Amino acid sequence: MRPRRTLATSARVLKQLGHDHRTLALLFVVPVVLLGLLAWILTDMPGVFDMIGAALLGIFPFVVMFLTTSIATLRERSSGTLERLLAMPMGKLDIILGYALSFGLLAVGQAVIASTVAVRLYGLDIAGPEWMLVLLAVANALLGTTLGLFASAFARTEFQALQFMPAFIFPQFLLCGLLVPVDRLPSVLEAVANILPLTYAVDAMQLISRQPTISAEIWTDLAIVLAFAVAAVVLGAATLRRKTK
């Protein structure tokens, strides 16, 4: 691994997106619009937006970044540039970290915009500090980025990559505690939920919306989410193959 190659790769990915204004706009606008829609739907149900708004603030960037990243890396594979890079003096981790860094940067921007708009404009009322909400949203977007990197290793076509979204994301969404609290799930499902990263992401979001102070539980949740992100980067690099059969 060399920082020069990692940084060159993330700069290159950002330049590619720089030529694609529509994708950039969608990336920043979609979560904001979705949260706005949710706030509007819940106008006549006081308190409900405050209850689930924070959790969804964690989920939207997660989903958007997962999709964007998995398609982008798949393109790298199918265009032959991945094979070219791997035939060069290039570390596998340089490629994955380069992607994680550039999309991570976008994820930060996206999370900051979405959470700021949610609090200032949509009136999302959380008990805890706002900066922690932003930090958690960023962590979730990073998690989506790195899981997308990892998942794309198993997709050979764009269609497969798209199907990974229901396959990877929906089960986590159903089990994360937003629909039914995790401790009220059937015991097998509770055990499954406890090994899925989104469960911890949503738990932290729900805690910050209820508790005025940052409890140790929130820090633990955050650490677990970030640990999953790191593991996904390492596994993503490990699944890159220089040689094919």
Is residue 45 near other proteins by the rule CB under 8 A? no
Distance CA 112, CA 133 (A): 9
Contact call for residue 120 and other proteins (CB under 8 A): no
Q: Does 3 bind other proteins (CB under 8 A)?
A: no
Of 45, 88, 188, 216, the one binding other proteins (CB under 8 A) is 88
User: In this structure, what are the phi and psi dihedrals at residue 42, rounded to the nearest 5 degrees?
Assistant: -95, 15
Please state the closest distance from residue 2 (CB atom) to other proteins, in A.
8
Q: Which of 47, 80, 187, 216 binds other proteins (CB under 8 A)?
A: 80
Number of residues this chain uses to bind other proteins (CB under 8 A)? 25
The footprint of other proteins on residues 179-218 (CB under 8 A) is: none
The residue within the footprint of other proteins, chosen from 120, 156, 210, 242 (CB under 8 A), is: 242
- Amino acid at site 188: V
CA 92 to chain centre: 21
Instruction: Work out whether 16 is an interface residue with other proteins (CB under 8 A).
Output: yes
Q: Write the single-letter amino acid at 128.
A: G
Say if residues 60 and 31 touch (Cβ distance below 8 Å).
yes
With b for 16 or more beta-carbon neighbours within 10 A and e for fewer, the 2-34 pattern comes to eeebbeebbeebbeebeeeeeeeeebeebbbeb
Q: Is 162 in the site for other proteins (CB under 8 A)?
A: no
**DSSP letter, residue 121:** T
Q: How far is the CB of 4 from other proteins (least distance, A)?
A: 7
Helix (H) or strand (E) holding 85: helix 81-86
Length of the chain: 245
Please tell me whether residue 213 adopts helix, strand or coil conformation: coil
- Pick from 181, 170, 219: nearest CA to 59: 170
**What are the CA-CA distances from residue 224 to residues 94, 135, 221 (Å)?**
24, 14, 5
Task: Tell me: does residue 81 bind other proteins (CB under 8 A).
Answer: yes
Choose the stretch contacting other proteins; rule: CB under 8 A; options: 16-24, 99-107, 129-137, 159-167: 16-24
**Residues 127-156 within binding reach of other proteins (CB under 8 A):** none
**Residue 115 CB-density burial (10 A; 0-12 exposed, 13-18 middle, 19+ buried):** buried
Contact region with other proteins (CB under 8 A), list: 7-15, 184-192, 199-207, 216-224: 7-15
Quick check: 157 binds other proteins (CB under 8 A)? no
Query: Of the candidates 86, 101, 231, 240, which one interacts with other proteins according to CB under 8 A?
Result: 86
Nearer to other proteins, 79 or 213 (CB): 79
- Least distance in angstroms from the C-beta of 91 to other proteins: 10
Q: How far is CA 125 from the centre of its chain?
A: 23
C-alpha angle 226-232-237 in degrees, rounded to nearest 5: 135
Give yes or no for residue 99 binding other proteins (CB under 8 A).
no
Which residues here bind other proteins, judged by CB under 8 A?
Answer: 4-5, 8-9, 11-12, 15-16, 19-20, 79-81, 83-90, 242-245
